[in-house]
Amino acid sequence: MSAFNTNEMMTVAAARRLGNGSVCFVGIGLPSKAANLARLTHAPEVVLIYESGPIGAKPSVLPLSIGDGELAETADTVVPTGEIFRYWLQGGRIDVGFLGAAQVDKYGNINTTVIGDYHAPKVRLPGAGGAPEIAGSAKKVLIILKQGHRTFVDKLAFITSVGHGEGGDHRKRLGLPGDGPVAIITDLCIMEPEAGSNEFIVTSLHPGVTREQVIENTGWQIRFADNVNTTEAPTAAELAALRDLEARTAAAHGQAGGEE
């Protein structure tokens, strides 16, 4: 089997979290790459929905944005954006919301708005899009992003999308349906919410990654599960499917897709 890099490990690990036949509301970038890898490997019947209206999208290359024509051309049907949110998402018909983030905290809350003071930010980020609604209404949420002190922070400058709020039963008290974020998949590890506190703890380390590396790249005092697993390395088939997808995307768009 060919050697794999940390980005490939992250994408494969995230793709594996999608079950065959599940209905998945997909964000652009890393979530789209992982979701389409799942469709090309173990989950051919996964239903991919993008907020611009495509339902059952089967792109041959990764979309540059939700307005990419490839999504509509390969979808089973295309409906108005309002229907995507009101009927599908708020109607409880989305099994998985798959999101990226600029920053995340220990309770799976996401910031994609600003870095620094809101009125005089150091960085103005892309914004919310449909992420707050996806995070709020999907039956469960997966988050994928590269891990580092800038991305895994103790306190968010702005909460764009609510995960588990302040922890514990805060999400329930806010009246939000669904389980909220059930996993954060990074280039180093997989984190899952601890029962009761809903604080994210490390449950699986990717091959070759140490606890010290995770600690050094987390902005809060990260904790580890009692039994930490080692993530199964990508198979040859998974790597081949991912690399083929990236090569097709690069040929079409000049980039491999999912770079954030």
Return the domain boundaries, the chain. Answer: 4-251
Q: Please state, in angstroms and rounded to a whole number, the distance separating the CA atoms of residues 141 and 183.
A: 7
Token pair belonging to 18? 């999608």
Please give the pLDDT value at position 256.
63
How far is Cα 195 from Cα 199, in angstroms, rounded to an integer? 8
Structure tokens at 46: 């996964």
pLDDT confidence of residue 26: 96
Identify which has the larger pLDDT, 2 or 114.
Answer: 114
CA distances from residue 23 to 61, 235, 245 in whole angstroms, order as listed: 20, 25, 21
pLDDT of residue 254: 78
Q: Could you give phi then psi for residue 13, rounded to 5 degrees?
A: -60, -40
CATH number of 4-251: 3.40.1080.10
- Return all residues near 164 (Cβ < 8 A) that are at least 6 apart: 107, 108, 109, 170, 171, 180, 181, 193, 198, 199
pLDDT at 185 over 50: yes
Averaged pLDDT, 173-189: 97
DSSP bridge partners of 49: 25, 55
Q: What is the pLDDT of residue 63?
A: 95
User: In sequence order, which residues have a C-beta less than 8 Å from that of residue 163 and are 6 or more positions away?
Assistant: 104, 105, 107, 108, 109, 110, 135, 141, 143, 171, 180, 181
Residue type, 2: S
What's the pLDDT score for residue 133? Answer: 96
pLDDT in tens, 18-65: 999 999 999 999 999 999 999 999 999 999 999 999 999 999 999 999
Give the pLDDT band (50/70/90) at residue 260: very low
Q: What is the mean pLDDT of the chain?
A: 95
- Do 98 and 24 contact (CB within 8 A), yes or no? yes
The catalytic residue positions are 51
Residue 127 or 203, more confident: 203
What pLDDT is attached to residue 59?
Answer: 97
Check whether 232 has a pLDDT greater than 80.
Answer: yes
If pLDDT is split at 50, 70 and 90, which confidence band does 2 have?
Answer: low
Q: pTM value?
A: 0.95
In the prediction, which pLDDT does 253 show?
Answer: 86
- Is pLDDT of 99 > 50? yes
